[in-house]
Chain A
Amino acid sequence: MTETSFAQFLPALPEIYLVGAICALLMFDVFFGLKKPTRTASVALLLLLGGAVATLISADFGHRQVLFSGMYIADDLATLLKLASFLFVAIALFYSGEFLGRRKLQQGEYYVLVFTALLGVLVLTSAGSLLMVYIGVELLSLSLYALVAFDRENGVAAEAAMKYFVLGAIASGIMLYGMSLLYGLSGTLSLAGLATAFSGPNSLGLILGLAFLVVAVAFKFGAVPFHMWVPDVYQGAPTSVSLLVASVPKIASFAVAYRLLAEGLGEVSGTWTQMLSVLAVLSLLFGNLIAIAQTNLRRMLAYSAISNVGFILLGFVTGTGDGYEAALYFTLVYVMVVLGTFGAILLASREGFEADEIADYKGLSSRDPSLAFMVAVLMFSTAGIPPFVGFWAKLRIIESLVNVGHLWLSIIAVVMSVIGAFYYLRIVWVMYFDPPGDLPRGQPRLALRFVLGLNAAAALGLGLFPDVLLNVCQTVLHRG
């Protein structure tokens, strides 16, 4: 047996660090946080920054390293996604601090569960084996189930958590079943092994196993027809949890789809692109059409999420590096914008006023002009209106579709994003052209307002200079 040293585990530093941080946070909360929960919140933020630093320290740019007998992949994509996850989770926690304090949810366990969810995301971004995909998915989903139910007095949240849990458990079972089929056919769990095992002609077993896997991935993404949990969770969970569910797990879903389908089963992309195209079209159709009918902003954002997932899937439908790159770009942009949107809900809300009905935003421009402006920027971006960043994201997806000749899919995508623009712009209309009535005025909360402002500015700035992030995406997928 060869001598092992700790240095050889350095590429896995982010995960190792995070596990240590989870334990440290638990202990800190018991000894110092019980009396003053805000302390735990601050420590959690600091730990997240430390995680970003750890990711940078351990990163070996431009190289791909494989650890733990092929179960861990450290490459540029993983580094980028990990950095993004640390950053986005930190922003999410920052946005939700005040809300949690107000709702008496600010317990140390909340942060611990957020950290374990983040650990799940990190594991998925580096997954090199079916085993790791499964464990990562379980870590992420278990933490999210608990977070959705975190507000125990709230019956709606409990109902949402129950639906999420039952459906999620079924999805996990389906995923395991698909994995077992693939394992039975190839005799290996490693994704690299799968790539070599399935380079030949397709067998029925492969298609069957693949179908199960695609269903599971679609569930985690929340794509139609496996979207049933999305609206209930977005609406029922505490707003801070909706924020979390809506943002970082999308990065994980992208990572799963990329590692599993593009890297592991890339040779047989013909089989799964067909399945994904059906899912994508359905998601675009249902997500956008049903979103129009919503009166609750969070529920509307849920359907918007479904339609946006449709876009991400379209990137995978191309089955080319070009498309994956577009999907990565879209995912990052979407997560950033959706963070801002939920941050705005949190900023607008106060004791006894959740600000999650669309009617709650009537005349926001006169009550809180700066917030109204930020929401408008974010809505324009999600709607895909130039020069905001959402436009470039959608454009890249459609471009990549046209490049491989999926004309019909790109037409559907364009039509659907035009329809989708309607309900985003309705929010802007409500904010600027409806009378405020006796709705409350905005509150200062300067720190939150400042970060939200940065978030909105990023949506605009990255839109004015789209090449910055695009180049990063290109580089990490080795197409620079």
Chain B
Amino acid sequence: MLVQILFYAFATVLMGSALGVILSRNPVHSALYLVLAFFTSAALWLLIEAEFLAIVLVLVYVGAVMVLFLFVVMMLDINVEEVRKGFTRHAWLGWLTVLALVAEIVGVVAVKQLGIDVTKAAVPVAADHSNTAELGKVLYTTYVYPFELAAVVLLVAIVAAIVLTMRKRQGLKLQDVGAQVATRREDRVRLVKMQAERRE
């Protein structure tokens, strides 16, 4: 009972914040609504005992991705009116997509209701079951090959991003820490031996 109340509460907040994402006039507010949406979805995942996924969602999306996203949105200073131009022109496409999605969801629910569902119901697990450990086991045994290759995909993204964006501006003065550290005394100080001069 409590779980159901919580579910509907979180679901309402989630719907509200999702609407906020697309309806707010200010892009920063949209991004913040998105943060809220992530949080509530994490809470929903907690309700179905997927604590690892829930926490990682907060950690990765809220903690890193959205911070950088906000960073960019705040720096860009987007003119919303400019972006919204021609929004209604393509609205029919949006409505079409919405209709298709609604139809699909209705289909899914209908399949569940009519009992012709082929998917198996989730098996409840013992209280001491740690899905973090389970996920780790599966990732590093059954799925180790795609897992490692996914890492290479990320490596490609890093290499590509750096190669396409990093450029050395002409005349830019940079601190060369390696050279600073490698400096020896002889490079900087010259000790000169002199005869003491007699005072006049």
Contacts and interface: CB of A to CB of B under 8 A. Distances in A.
State yes or no: do A and B touch (Cβ within 8 Å): yes
Interface of A: 1, 12, 15, 19, 22, 26, 67-69, 71-72, 107, 109, 112-113, 116, 119, 123, 129, 131-132, 135-136, 138-139, 142-143, 145-146, 149-150, 152, 187
Nearest to A18: B152
B150 interface: yes
B156 interface: yes
Given A113-B160, A119-B149, A142-B160, 12 more contacts: A19-B148, A19-B152, A67-B145, A71-B146, A109-B163, A113-B156, A113-B159, A132-B145, A135-B149, A146-B159, A150-B164, A187-B118
B152 A139 contact: yes
Interface string B140-158: 0111111011101101110
A138 B146 CA distance: 12
B162 interface: yes
B88 interface: no
Contacts of B150: 135
A211 to B, nearest CB: 15
A69 B147 CA distance: 13
A138 B142 CA distance: 21
Nearest to B151: A19
A5 to B, nearest CB: 14
Contacts of A136: 149
30 contacts: A12-B145, A15-B149, A22-B152, A22-B155, A68-B142, A68-B144, A69-B141, A71-B146, A72-B145, A113-B156, A113-B159, A113-B160, A113-B163, A116-B155, A116-B156, A123-B149, A131-B146, A132-B149, A135-B153, A139-B152, A139-B153, A143-B156, A143-B160, A145-B160, A146-B156, A146-B159, A149-B164, A150-B163, A152-B167, A187-B119
A114 B121 CA distance: 45
Contacts of B155: 22, 116
Nearest to A158: B164
Nearest to A186: B118
Q: List the 10 closest pairs (A to B, CB-CB), nearest first.
A: A146-B160, A68-B145, A109-B163, A69-B142, A116-B156, A142-B156, A135-B149, A131-B146, A71-B145, A143-B156
Given A22-B155, A116-B152, A109 B118 contact: no
Contacts of B141: 1, 69
A135 B159 contact: no
Nearest to A116: B156
B118 A146 contact: no
Contacts of A139: 149, 152-153, 156
- The bracket for how many chain B residues form the interface is 20 to 34
Nearest to B165: A152
B167 to A, nearest CB: 7
A136 B156 CA distance: 12
Most chain A Cβ neighbours within 10 Å, of B150, B155, B159: B159
Contacts of A149: 164
B146 A132 contact: yes
Interface string B110-145: 000000001100000000000000000000011111
A152 B163 CA distance: 9
A234 B93 CA distance: 32
B164 A119 contact: no
A145 B159 CA distance: 12
Contact of A109 (B143, B144, B149, B162): B162
B146 A146 contact: no
Contacts of B144: 68
Contact of A146 (B119, B149, B163): B163
Contacts of B143: 69, 71, 131
Contacts of B145: 12, 67-68, 71-72, 132
B108 to A, nearest CB: 9
Contacts of A129: 146
B138 to A, nearest CB: 10
A2 to B, nearest CB: 10
A132 B143 CA distance: 10
B153 A138 contact: yes
Most chain A Cβ neighbours within 10 Å, of B149, B156, B157: B156
Interface string B160-195: 101110010000000000000000000000000000
A179 to B, nearest CB: 13
Contacts of A72: 145
A152 B164 contact: yes
Most chain A Cβ neighbours within 10 Å, of B144, B160, B164: B160
Given A68-B145, A71-B145, A187-B119, A109 B159 contact: yes
A138 B154 CA distance: 10
Nearest to B157: A142
Interface string B32-44: 0000000000000
Most chain B Cβ neighbours within 10 Å, of A68, A107, A150: A68
B146 to A, nearest CB: 5
Contact of A142 (B118, B146, B153, B167): B153
A235 B141 CA distance: 44
Contacts of B152: 19, 22, 116, 119, 139
